[in-house]
Amino acid sequence: SLEDARKLSQLAVEMNRNALVHIAVDTGMNRIGLKDTDESADVVVSMFAPVAYEEFARVLKKGGYLIIGAAGEKHLDGLKAILYDEVYLNEPSEHKNELFDNISVENLSYVTEVSGNEIINSLFTMTPYYHRTSLADKEKLSKVDSLTTTVEVDFFILRRV
């Protein structure tokens, strides 16, 4: 969210007073906040969003890093177990582009407990599952007050050539 981005940006500035931080929000159709920033960023982070390689390459300095966070195979498996009759694994992501060298892929995975129906439903609405789940399956969440699920994120580290 934009608020999370602001908090992370403030933290970055507190850690390094020379940091120049840009906030960009993907609105689904348009990127905002990246105007007049050619080759100005050392790092760009894209989490659970389509990757605009050309735009990110434009704003990154040569040798700058693009960090892409994508859903791992078991990401939110507990949520899917409630919603669907058959739990499926997420397709592995691949991020390659001629504007970037692939440096590494790091996996972060842990199991967590989410408490409270409102929080569980908020989590659900932030996922692509929300838009492709039937109303009958969405109703299953109305009775859930506790959720145990895997959080699994693959981080792709790329360097601007």
DSSP string, 48-81: SS---HHHHHHHEEEEEEEEEEEE-TTTTHHHHH
Q: Residue 76: which of 104, 118, 48 has the closest Cα?
A: 48
What pLDDT sits at residue 29? Answer: 40
Which pLDDT tens digits describe the chain residue by residue (161 residues)? 555 666 666 666 666 655 555 555 554 444 545 666 788 888 888 888 889 899 899 989 999 999 999 999 999 999 999 999 999 999 999 999 999 999 999 999 999 999 999 999 999 999 999 999 999 999 999 999 999 999 999 999 999 99
What pLDDT sits at residue 50? Answer: 86
Q: Please give the C-alpha separations between residue 24 and each of 19, 75, 140, in angstroms, as whole numbers.
A: 16, 25, 35
- 32 membership: H or E segment, kind and range: strand 31-32
What pLDDT sits at residue 117? Answer: 95
In angstroms, the CA 43 to CA 46 distance is: 10
Q: In 89-133, at which residue ranges do the beta strands (DSSP E only) sit?
A: 100-115
Q: Residue 100: which of 42, 56, 155 has the closest Cα?
A: 56
What pLDDT sits at residue 28? Answer: 46
